[in-house]
Amino acid sequence: MKERQEAIKRYIERKGDVTLSELTKEFSDWSEMTIRRDLEFLEQRRFLIRTKRGARIMPTSYEVSVGMYGEREKRNCDLKQEIAAKAAALVETDISMYLDAGSTAMMLARELPDRNLIITTSAPNIGIEIVLKKKNPTVILLGGTLQRKTISTCGLNVLDQLKTLNIDTAFVCASGYTESTGFSVGGQHECVLKRAIIASARRVIMLMDSSKLNSILPFTFAQLSDIDTIVTDSKAPESIKAAFRAAGVHVL
Amino acid sequence: MKERQEAIKRYIERKGDVTLSELTKEFSDWSEMTIRRDLEFLEQRRFLIRTKRGARIMPTSYEVSVGMYGEREKRNCDLKQEIAAKAAALVETDISMYLDAGSTAMMLARELPDRNLIITTSAPNIGIEIVLKKKNPTVILLGGTLQRKTISTCGLNVLDQLKTLNIDTAFVCASGYTESTGFSVGGQHECVLKRAIIASARRVIMLMDSSKLNSILPFTFAQLSDIDTIVTDSKAPESIKAAFRAAGVHVL
DNA sequence: AGAAAATGTGTGATAATTTCACAAAAGATG
DNA sequence: CATCTTTTGTGAAATTATCACACATTTTCT
């Protein structure tokens, strides 16, 4: 596959769906015809499907996150992308890691290197995404009741399941953070799961875009002292980042 | 939603993707414009996405089965559809059931009534499909390693997980059957899982299209005596169906 | 190195599809 | 029953896709 085609693929994967005119503007070094042919090529390889006036990412599990939660998710897409890229750089080969549910985690899944990894996750859509798009990682899904809102599982026996799994690095997402309340989420089940993960992982990396700073959700699952690193985006206020660092947390 | 729109939706869900001309021929009582407007309507509700000259089912998990296994799956689509419809009729409300992995099971998932059901499955794509498209069923995913080929999980501790789950009816798929070898599949892990399910379920219903009769795969997981009912399609030879009945198995 | 072949790219004509505005028909409301 | 709203059909106009061919670039072979 050519470099241009790779680039187009990546662009569409980031955006979800694009119009041809958008692509011709983005890749203005080439003619519309060439891009059109590239889309045809990429469609044949099942990387995307062509729509009326453009193309759309081949929706495997992607649609489950982006499609479900709706437009809201797309808005902070660039922030999350930035976070995902930074977080992916922290992933070492042959590591045993946990990947949380959520759209940021989905983006991280996409950015992961196609190498030997053991990836445990409670998000079946993310697990499927990885298994379909990469050849090398091993994916372990946690069992349990599948939650409609979050597309993640939670079971009464999570602790049992984690007992035989040794997780080195856990990538955890939060929906809210304030200094006084710590990291919080909207669901009770998620909260329990995240706590268990944090307790068992050697290293905890929190993924949180700046729009979630200074908001509080019903259930707190962690404090600053529980985590090792926070990956956030460039729009995060310097004051909060300084406070993180003061608490001994790495900030990226 | 109108009846015509429902019908179009169902038609597209069955076919996977369709052209507009195909639809105008199928729904010739209405004009192209009307159908076009219906597609727009259905797209807004995220039931499908419109493509160059037609529409395509909103691929949540569907693509995982059809997209992965390729065209082969589409071929026996009608047979599998027939089986799924027959099997769905066997599902009672408030039942605890198991749904196997595989494209026939996916179709059954689609045909399930949107009622109170506890559905345990090893196929995360099927679980997601159900949870996204229906409001009432509860889905329980079995945990374990996610297999690339089958998109199903298998864990060392399946037996532990099943211990606390009481499954009334298990819908199990087989990839091959002969009188001498019984029901067989291609993977060792699947084989173990299916055995465990069959051992624990009160009633076992086997789903198998006629193309799989008289073929042998590496691992046998059940004999006729293990199952209660076989659901197959109208192309199944009468002789085999008679043999099933002679062994005390219901045949639908 | 140079010719031949294969592949990739751009152009404009042609064909197909989609959109749009508006009129006709069907249904709802008082 | 008149009137308003919603749904449906029609054809023209705009947009988008396809195709054939010319030109450029890269690869292969002698």
Instruction: Mean pLDDT check: name the lowest of A69-73, B1-5, B171-175.
Output: A69-73
Instruction: Mean pLDDT check: name the lowest of A44-48, A178-182, B23-27.
Output: A44-48
Kindly determine whether the C-beta of residue A25 is less than 7 Å away from any atom of nucleic acid strand D: no
Interatomic CA–C1' length for residue B38 and nucleotide C14, angstroms: 30
**Sheet with B176-178, side-by-side order of all strands:** B176-178, B182-185, B219-222
Residue A144 has pLDDT above 50, yes or no: yes
The rounded percent of chain B whose pLDDT value lies above 70 is: 92
Q: pLDDT band for position B122 (50/70/90)? A: very high
Q: What residues contact residue A40 under an 8 Å CB cut-off, 6+ apart?
A: A50
* Interchain contact B58–A (C-beta under 8 A): yes
Kindly determine whether the C-beta of residue A246 is less than 7 Å away from any atom of nucleic acid strand C: no
pLDDT (0 to 100) of residue B58: 67
Letter string b/e over residues A14-27, b meaning 16 or more CB atoms within 10 A of that residue's CB: ebbbbebebbbeeb
Nucleotides of chain C in contact with protein CB (under 7 A) are 8-12, 16-21
Is the Cβ pair B49, A50 closer than 8 Å? no
pLDDT tens for B96-113 read 999 999 888 988 988 898
Question: Does residue A163 sit in helix, strand or coil?
Answer: helix
Average pLDDT over residues B193-212: 91
Distance of alpha carbon A139 from alpha carbon A131, whole angstroms:
7
Among residues A222, A216, A221, A218, the alpha carbon closest in space to that of A244 is found at: A222
Smallest Cα distance from A92 to chain B, Å: 20
Q: Where are the domains of chain A?
A: 3-58, 65-251
Option in A131, A153, A157 nearest B148 (CB): A131
Letter string b/e over residues B64-95, b meaning 16 or more CB atoms within 10 A of that residue's CB: bbbbbeeeebeebbebbbbbbebbbebbeeeb
Is the Cβ pair A161, B143 closer than 8 Å? yes
pLDDT (0 to 100) of residue B103: 83
- Tell me the CA distances in angstroms from A148 to A96, A154, B127, B128, one per residue in order: 27, 11, 10, 8
How much is the mean pLDDT over chain A?
Answer: 85
Residue B222 has pLDDT above 60, yes or no: yes
Instruction: Mean pLDDT check: name the lowest of A232-241, B70-79, B131-140.
Output: B70-79
Write out the two tokens for A235.
């729009």
Residues 123-152 of A with CB under 8 A from B: 124-125, 127-128, 131-132, 135, 138-146, 148, 151
- Tell me the CA distances in angstroms from B249 to B79, B205, B220, B242, one per residue in order: 21, 10, 18, 10
pLDDT tens for A165-184 read 899 999 999 999 998 999 99
**Sheet with A219-222, side-by-side order of all strands:** A176-178, A182-185, A219-222
Choose from A10-14, A90-94, B202-206 the range with maximum mean pLDDT: B202-206
Option in A58, A125, A145 nearest B128 (CB): A125
Distance of alpha carbon A80 from alpha carbon A82, whole angstroms:
5
pLDDT (0 to 100) of residue B133: 78
Nucleotide nearest to B50 (CA to C1'): C18
CATH topology of domain B65-251: Rossmann fold (3.40.50)
Q: pLDDT band for position A7 (50/70/90)? A: confident
Distance of alpha carbon B173 from alpha carbon B170, whole angstroms:
10
Residue A69 has pLDDT above 80, yes or no: no
Neighboring chain B residues of A138 at a CB cutoff of 8 Å: 145
Average pLDDT over residues B169-188: 92
Residue A75 has pLDDT above 60, yes or no: no
Q: pLDDT band for position B36 (50/70/90)? A: very high
Kindly determine whether the C-beta of residue A102 is less than 7 Å away from any atom of nucleic acid strand D: no
The rounded percent of chain B whose pLDDT value lies above 90 is: 32
C-alpha B55: how far from chain center: 22
Q: Which of residues 27-56 of A touch strand C (CB under 7 A)?
A: 29-34, 37, 52
pLDDT (0 to 100) of residue B146: 92
Question: Does residue A251 sit in helix, strand or coil?
Answer: strand
pLDDT (0 to 100) of residue A191: 92
Number of H helices, E strands in chain B: 11, 15
pLDDT (0 to 100) of residue A148: 86
Residue B203 has pLDDT above 90, yes or no: yes
CATH 2.40.160 fits A3-58, yes or no: no
Helix (H) or strand (E) run with residue A44 in it: helix A32-44
pLDDT tens for B43-72 read 887 788 888 888 887 655 444 444 443 444
Kindly determine whether the C-beta of residue B40 is less than 7 Å away from any atom of nucleic acid strand C: yes
pLDDT (0 to 100) of residue A232: 92
Distance of alpha carbon A131 from alpha carbon A136, whole angstroms:
8
Average pLDDT over residues B205-229: 91
Distance of alpha carbon A53 from alpha carbon B155, whole angstroms:
44
Crossing angle for the helix pair B124-133 and A124-133, to the nearest 10 degrees: 130
Smallest Cα distance from A17 to chain B, Å: 11
Closest CA-bearing residue to C1' of C18: A52
Instruction: Mean pLDDT check: name the lowest of A68-77, A139-148, B166-175.
Output: A68-77
What is the count of residue pairs from A and B with beta carbons less than 8 Å apart?
120
Q: pLDDT band for position A45 (50/70/90)? A: confident
pLDDT (0 to 100) of residue B164: 87
pLDDT (0 to 100) of residue A59: 59
The single residue listed with the structure tokens 């081949």 is A58
Positive or negative, the CA dihedral A231, A237, A238, A242 is: negative
Residue B141 has pLDDT above 80, yes or no: yes
Among residues A87, A83, A85, A93, the alpha carbon closest in space to that of A137 is found at: A93
Higher pLDDT, B133 or B185: B185
pLDDT (0 to 100) of residue B68: 43
Residue B175 has pLDDT above 60, yes or no: yes
| Angle made by CA atoms A170, A173, A179, in degrees to the nearest 5 | 110
Please return the burial class of B2, using the count of CB atoms within 10 Å of its CB with bins 0-12, 13-18 and 19+. exposed
With beta carbons less than 8 A apart as the criterion, state whether A98 and A171 touch.
yes
pLDDT (0 to 100) of residue B64: 46
**What are the percentages of helix, strand and coil residues in chain B, rounded to 5?**
45, 25, 35
How much is the mean pLDDT over chain B?
Answer: 85
Average pLDDT over residues B190-199: 92
